[in-house]
Amino acid sequence: MAIVVLAVLAPASWFLERWVEGPPAVNDFVGPPVSDYELYTSKVWSYDVNGMLNFIMTSPRMNRRGGDESLYINAPEFTIISKKPGIPNWRGNAPFGWVNKSGTLMRLDNAVYMWRPAYAQGPMATLCTSNVTGWPKENRMETADPATMTQGASVMNGVGMRANLNDNHLELLHDVHGTMYSSQNNATAKPVDCRALLASATGAGTAG
């Protein structure tokens, strides 16, 4: 009889305790993933499938996520190595970045700015866009956001972009418009930086 009574009272006391105390508190904490470690003033090198240097990224702070060993990056500055002799590297920056464990997938979050210096066959080129997904080992990237591309004085605007920087191919996907100059006129005209265009458009909109 004592065993039967205990068998009934034990679960009954547990239910009574839950009823008095209410449900357990929900952990509603929202924040960055727990890091295995943090690196300060870090530098990362990525190599392509042939073992050639492909991508360099520096950052004042980098966190490695414990679960999947991906990297969360503050204020990344990067260099995309040119694959053709005589053509300079692309360089760029963004407020935040992310790279997966194997270095095959990358995100650049918020505003992204890229530029390539002038060289013998072409004037300076710039690119202003945001929220870019990239494949560093393949030198490919894309975004669904608006993008402004300049080369010399020529300017192109569009929504959505794909780029293969191995062959210097950049493609705007939708709502494309701009101003293009001939090669001779473009080489002698004053080069345009996409950041100045965006700042001018924002100022005009604010003033209006």
Quote the pLDDT of residue 152.
92
Residue 154 has φ and ψ, to the nearest 5°, of -75, 140
The range of the structural domain enclosing residue 80 comes to 34-207
Q: What is the CATH number of the domain that holds 167?
A: 2.60.450.10
Residue 3 lies in a domain: no
- The three-point CA angle 87-92-94 to 5° equals 165
Residue 23 lies in a domain: no
Domain count, the chain: 1
User: Residues 152-170: pLDDT tens digits?
Assistant: 999 999 999 999 887 878 8
Residue 1 lies in a domain: no
Q: Which of 108, 144, 147, 100 is nearest to 126 (CA)?
A: 147
Residue 13 lies in a domain: no
Quote the pLDDT of residue 91.
96
From first CA to last CA, the distance across the chain in angstroms is: 87
Residue 48 lies in a domain: yes
Residue with tokens 């690119």: 127
Residue with tokens 């357990």: 24
pLDDT by residue for the chain (208 residues), tens only, comes to 554 444 444 555 554 455 545 555 555 545 555 567 788 998 988 887 788 888 899 999 998 887 788 889 999 999 998 888 888 999 999 999 999 988 889 999 999 999 999 988 889 999 999 999 999 888 899 999 999 999 999 999 999 999 988 787 889 999 999 998 888 888 788 889 999 988 887 775 544 4
Residue 17 lies in a domain: no
Q: How far is CA 9 from CA 15, 19, 24, 195, in A?
A: 10, 15, 22, 73
User: Residues 106-142: pLDDT tens digits?
Assistant: 999 999 999 999 988 889 999 999 999 999 888 899 9
